[in-house]
Structure formats: C-alpha cells, structure tokens
C-alpha cells in the first residue's frame, strides 16, 4: 500500500482482487482500486469506522477530491473513507473500447459486461469489507446510481451494513426501463423550459445551432459527429445545480464569423465534445438501461422508443415551426454508438445487452420492509435524473428510512452543498434530527 498526503488528509491506495463472476469464486479474477482517506493528525485512525462511497453512473470512477473538498470534509470527521472505483472504472480493471476486444467478439464482451451491475458491485463490496474491517459492518454513502447499489445492498447483504446514506439515488423497486423514461421525459421538458425561462435569448441560439447542424455535417476535433440530437443531449447539464448557467455560457459563443461565413467556433466545439464524449466513462452508455432491467424482458433501447411518445423533443419538427428546440437529459440512444468514436466499436455489444432478457431482480421488497439498518436519503424535488415519485414509493417500503426532501439542490446536492447534505443525512440516520 502506498500512502501520501494532500491538504488536511492522508491518502492510501488499496488494490483488491475479486472474482469476475461471484458465482464462480475460483474463476477469472479482476482488480478493484480504492483510495482510503483519513483526516491528517488522526493517530487513532485504526479505530475509526469505515464509510465506503459509491459514485453515480453507472460506469463512473469515484470522484477525485483534493484535500477536504465537498462532503469529504464532513465524512473524515467520523470515518475512514474508501473511495471505491467500481469494477470497470478508474484504476480498477478497465472496460473500454480499447480493452474489451481482449474478451473476444461482441457476444463475449456482452457476457463479460453482464457482471458489471449493482449485484456484482455489492458482492465486491462485501469481499472488500471483510478484508478491511475484520468483519465489522460499515456505512455506505451512495450518490445517484451509487444509491441504487446501496438499495441492492440492503436487499442482498444487510448484515454488512451499519448505516446507509443515499443522495439522489432511491430507485424504483419494480419500474421497467420504459416506465423510467416515460416518467423522465416530462421532467426533462420542465428543466429545458425552466432554462429558457431563465435565459430566453437561448431559444433562438439553440434553434440556430440545431439548424446549422441539420444542414452541415459537423465533426468535432475528437471525431464526434455533432448531430442535432447529439446537440440536444447537452441538456444533461440541466440536472446539476449550476448546469443551466453552464449551458447558457456554452451557447452564447457558439458562432464565429470567418471568410467563409459564420461557423461553429473552435472554442464551442472543444467545450461541446468535453461534455458529450463517453471516452472517460463508456460503461455509462453501454450499461445505462441495464441498471433498470430485472428479468422482465429486454430493455430494447427504451429511451429511444419512449422518446417517440414525446414528439415535442423532435428537433426537425421544432425547426419546421417556431417552437423551442428542447434539450434532453441522461438518455442513451442507438445513435450514441454512431456519433461517439469512443462508443462506435461497442455498438454490437450494446445491441446484445439491449436484447438480453435474463437479468436477475435487484431488489427484495420483503427484506427492505424488514431491515433494521438505519437509512437516510436525500430526495431532490423534481430531480431530473431520478424520479421523485419512484424514490418516495421506495422510501415508504424501506423500514425506518428517513427522507429529506428538498428543492434547494439539484441532483449534485451532496457535492454542491459542501458538507450540509451529508451532515443532515448523518443526523437523520442517528436520530439527531
């Protein structure tokens, strides 16, 4: 193990070997990485309880903090924190367009990635917990998809849990992918309309950009093809606390005048590709709909199919009239695997995963209703990424769960609030609030 320092904290690298398939513990092994964080000067660190942080996603590595940033400043007051790079992400054994061909063709890749959902992540956590804590239960903090994992943890291995804290990540226990997106598109529309209410000048800017893209094939510097639909997906920014402002600043400098006329500026193209590229998190796209699959048929590109029920998101129809071009959110479509060079080699693999029907169920309502683990959850009112009604229905199922429902923050509240969200959840879980 290697230890080093940042302002106010001591960091230690951990590497763990776990089975690819936990049903075959003696079979192929993969590596997981975790970064331990302890407050500097804690001479009694060995006596501190553990908190494991599960990042959102799927397919996102644990956030890289510098010192005591955001919620971490509160967590290290009471815990040794493990920032876990879930399987396939960060410094764990990677799963990308570059590495997946080592598995073989698309079918072998799809079979491999079937082991990368919440059920496998939780079994990873249980192996790691026993190695780190000597068998003592630990606290889980789950953000977004990390909360989905925490909910599965409560269903599958509650004996490993001391406390569960969820931020913007209480999933529906029984919704299909179709149900999820049918609830999502109206929320996405509200966020887009709220953005245009805040910045009415962006209505014409967005129409002008979409019209330009419809008439001119535009390839960004990294090879990403910027279609009108890809441009609309910049609406993923609208789920964060300052995302509307980021989007506004992005749009206001889209065009530059050149000898050949007005074209999309290099600065705009560079910024857009940084927001849209899945090069750093391909599993987010490849496995996104699989996180909602529970053996009730294939997901079959649910976001794409359900979008057809909401024609107001059709950019061509908007441009043919005088209405706004609506932005979309965290929806994954087949065209992502055509426009994004980081995803193109994974198109057949993604198709096979979308057709898969044998996904196991992730949640056990009876066990959740009987749990004795203290659970607290922040539910962000009108969260663009996770349906509030779905979250509250699940909250009513989990015995003793205490919710904090707030519209002060968006989906990124646990980071944007500094220490406030985590402090509130700890107080709720401990019966102090």
* Long-range contacts of residues 263-271, Cβ cutoff 8 Å, at least 24 apart: 264/209, 264/212, 264/218, 264/226, 266/221, 269/218, 269/220, 269/221, 269/226, 270/220, 270/221
Q: Determine whether 381 is an active site residue.
A: no
CA atoms of 286 and 169, how far apart (whole Å): 20
SS3 content of the chain, % helix, strand, coil (to 5): 45, 15, 40
CA atoms of 107 and 387, how far apart (whole Å): 33
Contact 14, 34 (CB under 8 A): yes
CA atoms of 388 and 390, how far apart (whole Å): 5
CA within 13 Å, CB half, 70: 11
- Options 119, 411, 412, 417, the catalytic residue: 411
- Options 120, 144, 155, 417, the catalytic residue: 144
Strand locations in 154-199 (E): 161-167
Contact 111, 82 (CB under 8 A): no
CA atoms of 381 and 330, how far apart (whole Å): 17
Nearest C-alpha neighbor of 42 from the set 84, 1, 75, 2? 75
Phi-psi region of 51 (alpha: psi -120 to 50; beta: other; left: phi over 0): beta
Q: Determine whether 358 is an active site residue.
A: yes
Q: Residue 379 forms beta bridges with which residues?
A: 405
Strand locations in 277-430 (E): 375-380, 402-406
- Dihedral pair phi/psi, residue 140, rounded to 5°: -115, 130
**Cα distances (Å, whole numbers) of residue 221 to 208, 233, 250, 423:** 21, 18, 17, 43
Q: Determine whether 85 is an active site residue.
A: no
Catalytic residues, which ones? 144, 358, 411
């Amino acid at each position: 193990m290697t230890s080093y320092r940042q302002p106010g904290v001591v960091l230690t690298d951990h590497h763990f070997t776990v089975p690819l398939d936990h049903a075959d513990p003696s079979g192929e092994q993969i590596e997981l990485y975790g970064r331990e964080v302890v407050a500097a000067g804690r001479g009694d660190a060995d006596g501190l309880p553990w908190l494991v942080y599960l990042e959102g996603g799927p397919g996102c590595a644990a956030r890289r903090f510098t010192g005591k940033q955001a919620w971490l400043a509160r967590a290290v007051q009471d815990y040794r924190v493990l920032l876990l790079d879930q399987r396939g992400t960060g410094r764990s054994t990677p799963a990308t367009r570059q590495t997946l061909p080592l598995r073989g063709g698309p079918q072998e890749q799809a079979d491999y990635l079937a082991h990368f959902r919440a059920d496998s992540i939780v079994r990873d956590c249980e192996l790691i917990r026993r190695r780190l804590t000597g068998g003592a239960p630990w606290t889980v903090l789950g953000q977004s998809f990390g909360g989905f994992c925490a909910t599965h943890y409560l269903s599958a291995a509650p004996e490993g849990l001391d406390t569960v804290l969820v931020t913007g990540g209480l999933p529906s226990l029984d919704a299909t992918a179709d149900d999820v997106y049918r609830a999502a598109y109206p929320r996405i529309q509200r966020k887009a309309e709220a953005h245009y209410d805040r910045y009415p000048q962006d209505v014409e800017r967005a129409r002008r950009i979409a019209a330009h893209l419809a008439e001119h094939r535009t390839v960004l510097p990294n090879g990403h093809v910027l279609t009108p639909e890809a441009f609309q997906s910049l609406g993923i920014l609208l789920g964060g606390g300052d995302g509307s402002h980021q989007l506004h600043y992005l749009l206001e400098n889209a065009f530059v005048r050149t000898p050949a006329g007005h074209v999309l500026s290099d600065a705009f193209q560079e910024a857009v590709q940084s927001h849209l590229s899945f090069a750093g998190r391909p599993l987010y796209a490849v496995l996104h709909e699989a996180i909602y699959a529970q053996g009730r048929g294939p997901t079959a590109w649910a976001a794409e199919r359900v979008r057809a029920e909401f024609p107001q998101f059709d950019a061509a129809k908007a441009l043919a009239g005088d209405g706004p071009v609506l932005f979309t959110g965290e929806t994954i479509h087949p065209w992502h695997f055509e426009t994004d060079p980081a995803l193109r080699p994974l198109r057949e693999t993604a198709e096979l995963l979308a057709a898969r029907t044998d996904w196991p169920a992730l949640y056990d309502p009876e066990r959740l209703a009987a749990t004795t683990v203290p659970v607290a959850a922040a539910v962000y009112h009108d969260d663009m990424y996770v349906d509030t009604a779905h979250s509250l229905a699940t909250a009513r199922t989990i015995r003793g769960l205490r919710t904090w429902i707030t519209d002060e923050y968006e989906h990124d509240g646990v980071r944007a609030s500094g220490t406030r969200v985590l402090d509130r959840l700890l107080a709720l879980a401990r019966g102090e609030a």
